[in-house]
């Protein structure tokens, strides 16, 4: 019997996934959590064999959750199930030692199989995504990322400067760098590109 904890913020999807997994005779969904912090508490309390988690959740993301489990050396395998086919996310997930990374686009039947594979100590990584993951790396450094994120939210250069204790000129330099590295025409396009790759 594989003991599973489910973390997913959208209640309807959470309930549906739980129903799906409970159809399997060798899988038991112990509990489910609606956000990262709750999931962390349940992980410690229930010590499940496998945690199935979304990435985007309020509070603590699935990636941070995986990192935390690794840091505490808990014997809990992690499977990420997410909408986002962003190479950067997969990379970070692998760095955090997750056992599986599946897309919500993938067929539902695969989830139970992936769960069994990971429980046995194997890995279940979405194949087409695995290819892209090592193709192009994030060219941005920390400053460029911060600045680009704020710019994408509609802040002006001076605005960003005061938030980060930088001069507005420096902010524009970083933005210019980022735009150049991404081959974009302006900050808006750069933001969209970076976001789509999972780099922000």
Interacting residue ranges for a copy of itself, rule: CB under 8 A: 9-20, 23, 81, 83, 102-111, 151-154, 156, 184-190, 192
Looking at the Cβ atoms of 67 and 86, the one nearer to a copy of itself is 86
Among 63, 77, 85, CA closest to 130: 85
Residue 78 phi/psi, 5-degree rounding, is: -125, 135
Cα–Cα separations (whole angstroms), residue 46 to 4, 49, 50, 51, 127: 9, 9, 11, 11, 31
Q: Which of residues 160-189 bind DNA (CB under 7 A)?
A: 165-170, 172-173, 175-176, 179-180, 186-188
Q: Which is nearer to a copy of itself, 24 or 64 (CB)?
A: 24
Place of tokens 């969209």: 192
42-81 positions binding DNA, by CB under 7 A: none
To DNA, the closest distance from the beta carbon of 135 in angstroms equals: 24
Q: Contact, 64 vs 36, CB < 8 A?
A: yes
Residues 87-146 within binding reach of DNA (CB under 7 A): 141, 143
């Amino acid at each position: 019997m594989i003991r599973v904890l489910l973390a997913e913020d959208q209640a309807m999807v959470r309930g549906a996934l739980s129903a799906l997994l409970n159809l399997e005779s060798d899988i038991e969904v112990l509990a489910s959590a609606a956000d990262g912090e709750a999931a962390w508490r349940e992980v410690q309390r229930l010590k499940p064999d496998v945690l199935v988690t979304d990435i985007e959740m309020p509070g603590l993301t699935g990636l941070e959750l995986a990192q935390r489990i690794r840091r505490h050396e808990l014997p809990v395998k992690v499977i990420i199930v997410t909408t986002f086919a962003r190479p950067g996310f997969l990379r970070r997930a692998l760095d955090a030692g997750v056992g599986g990374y599946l897309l919500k686009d993938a067929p539902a039947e695969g989830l139970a199989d992936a769960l069994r594979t990971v429980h046995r100590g194997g890995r279940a990584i979405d194949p087409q995504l695995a290819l892209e993951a090592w193709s192009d790396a994030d060219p941005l450094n920390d400053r460029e990322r911060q600045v680009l994120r704020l710019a994408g939210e509609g802040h002006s250069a001076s605005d960003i400067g005061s938030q980060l204790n930088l001069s507005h000129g420096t902010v524009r330099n970083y933005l210019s760098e980022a735009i150049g590295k991404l081959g974009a025409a302006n900050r808006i396009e750069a933001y969209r590109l970076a976001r789509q790759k999972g780099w922000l």
